[in-house]
Structures are given as C-alpha cells and as structure tokens.
Amino acid sequence: MVINIQNSQTMLHDAEWGITEFETRALRTILGCYPTGVAIVATRTADGRNVGLTINSFASLSLEPPLILWSLVSHSPSLAVFRNCEYFTVSILGCDHQELALRFANPRVENKFQDIPVQETPEGVPSIGGAIATLVCSNHQQTHVGDHLLMIGQVKRIASFEGKPLVFHGGMFTALHDIGKDRGEYE
C-alpha cells in the first residue's frame, strides 16, 4: 500500500495494514484527515487578566455527569493558568471566525482580547461574543498524557446560537455543507 502524504517529505510504503515506524509529521498529517471543530477556551487569572487560546482538541466525554475534554501542550505559556483555574469557557466558533481563531492561536499576540466582543459569565470568566455555542465548565480533573495536559471540564452552563461551525481539516479552515440527508432518515 502506498499513502501519499501532501505537504510532507515522507512517503509511506508498507504492508496492507499500514506502517509501524513513522515520523511525527506523517502522524500529524494522517490525523489531519479527521475534521474537527474550532473553539476558543478562556479563563481569568486571579489578578483579573483574561487568558484564551484556540483549540481543536475538544470532545464530549460524558453526558451523565456532563463532562467535556480538551488538551493543552505541556510547554504552553497558559498551562499554569488553566491548570489552576476554577472555571473556563469553551466558545465554539462559527464559519466566519477564521481571523479570530488565528488571533487566539498566535502566541505572539499579547492581548488577544483587545477589541474582541467578550461576555462575562456569572462564574466570572470570559466567553467570546458571537460564538455559535458556549459551555461554561468547572475545572473537574486534569492529567498529563504524553506531551499534553488533558483538561476535563464539568459543564455548568450552556448557550447556543444560529450558525454553522468553523471546521479544521487537512491543515486549513473549512466549513460544513449539507449533503441532502438529515439523520432522521438513518434512525
């Protein structure tokens, strides 16, 4: 089997069930085949400073109790803030929020919240105005896994609005499009 990985110098050749030795870049490219949503996680420090970053490592973990998870690379400058926060928000971005996603993904942007519409939750943490959905979570549990801190949040409050989500796939932003079937036809 031959797998041609775009944007990588690695050509994968191996047996029918794939390869067992690969470079990190090849794995990253393969994982990029799986589309993900794009969100901004945010919290507030003890001295009142808003901290946030773009993630696409977000997933539902449990409905009872309501738990979500996301991960943060272990060398992130925001690691200690999120590890020690009481609450954080997950603002799910709409398909028109590419610039916002890039801004919060850039560690060189000093004040990511400047001129950004922010709503303060009753828990005292910021959420991104205009997001298509927001979850307010308590910092339920964390564990280091590989080169990331896995954050588990217990969902305390939810809000949703009209809009299609921003999607990340193959190393770039995209959007969903309807294919003419709703899930009711499959149930």
The reported pLDDT for the residue numbered 92 is 98
Asked whether the beta carbons of 119 and 126 are under 8 A apart, the reply is yes
Query: What is the pTM for the complete model shown?
Result: 0.85
The reported pLDDT for the residue numbered 160 is 95
Residues 49-82: tens digit of each pLDDT = 999 999 999 999 999 999 999 999 999 999 999 9
Classify burial at 123, counting beta carbons within 10 Å of its beta carbon; exposed 0-12, middle 13-18, buried 19 or more.
Answer: middle
Is 186 among the domain residues? Answer: no
Is 93 among the domain residues? Answer: yes
**CA-based nearest residue to 129, from 115, 143, 140, 141:** 115
Q: What letter represents residue 51's amino acid?
A: V
Is 19 among the domain residues? Answer: no
Residue 126's domain comprises 37-170
Whole-number Å distance between alpha carbons of 50 and 20: 43
CATH, residue 117: 2.30.110.10
* Helices (runs of H) and strands (runs of E) counted in the chain: 3, 14
Q: pLDDT band at residue 96, thresholds of 50, 70 and 90? A: very high
Express as a percent the part of the chain with pLDDT over 90.
Answer: 71
The reported pLDDT for the residue numbered 11 is 46
CA distances for 37 relative to 61, 64, 65, 129, 158, angstroms: 15, 23, 22, 17, 17
* pLDDT: which is higher, 186 or 155: 155
Is 32 among the domain residues? Answer: no
Is 96 among the domain residues? Answer: yes
Is 4 among the domain residues? Answer: no
Residues 111-169: tens digit of each pLDDT = 999 999 999 999 999 999 999 999 999 999 999 999 999 999 999 999 999 999 999 98
Is 180 among the domain residues? Answer: no
Taking CA 156 as the corner, what is the angle to CA 47 and CA 50, rounded to the nearest 5 degrees? 25
Is 20 among the domain residues? Answer: no
Asked whether the beta carbons of 136 and 157 are under 8 A apart, the reply is yes
Asked whether the beta carbons of 39 and 58 are under 8 A apart, the reply is yes
Report the domain count for the chain.
1
The mean pLDDT value for 84-111 works out to: 96
